[in-house]
Amino acid sequence: MRELPPLLLPLLRSNTVGELLAWLYLHPEDEYSTTDLARRTGASQPTVSREADRFAAAGLTKERRHGNLRLIRADTDTIVARPLTDLLAVAFGPAAVLPPLLQSIPGIEEAYIYGSWAARHANRPGPIPRDVDVLVVGSADEDELYDAAREAERILGREVDISRISSASWATDLEDPFVTSLRSKPLHPLIRNRSTT
């Protein structure tokens, strides 16, 4: 079944294209293998390879080989690089910017984007999201979460709100209206089931 154009940026063919380009353009100093990009975006390896071919043919990416690895990075020397980066930051940036910021914080077991951004990513109609709501499950330090949110805001150009909930409450508190509401709406995973030990 063909994927619908993303509501986050309908100019693109799919959420997968947006997420792949966001990882490349919002981390322009990094090179990624197709396997790594597939893991980061949840896309299949063949899909990532196919899209990487399209990006290279359009002059959006640079590639090099290291043994059997195909390493891909954004081509930031093109006239479209800056405006494309800005569009990707606004539309798909949360999925590419937040995971590296949160992965370095101890005590996070799971993390999700919820609210309007997650709804648009799930192709539920509505206005363009003005902020990004993040749920962190675990015992992460509030000050570190605050710092991560401010850094994400700097890169994404929009407000980022991080809420923290204990793993016990997330797993068992089905009476809490906040938890019930979150579980009934789209959640975009940033970190899943990471052990804190």
- Where a domain ends, among 41, 59, 91? 91
Residues 114 and 184 grouped into a single domain = yes
68 domain residue, yes or no = yes
Residues 6+ apart with CB under 8 A from 110: 136, 137, 138, 167, 170, 189, 191, 192, 193, 194
Q: How many domains does the chain have?
A: 2
- Where a domain ends, among 91, 118, 144? 91
Which H or E run contains 91?
A: helix 81-91
What is the model's pLDDT at position 192? 82
What is the model's pLDDT at position 107? 96
Q: By residue range, what is the domain housing residue 62?
A: 15-91
What is the model's pLDDT at position 8? 85
More confident position, 175 or 12: 12
Residues 75 and 35 grouped into a single domain = yes
What is the model's pLDDT at position 172? 80
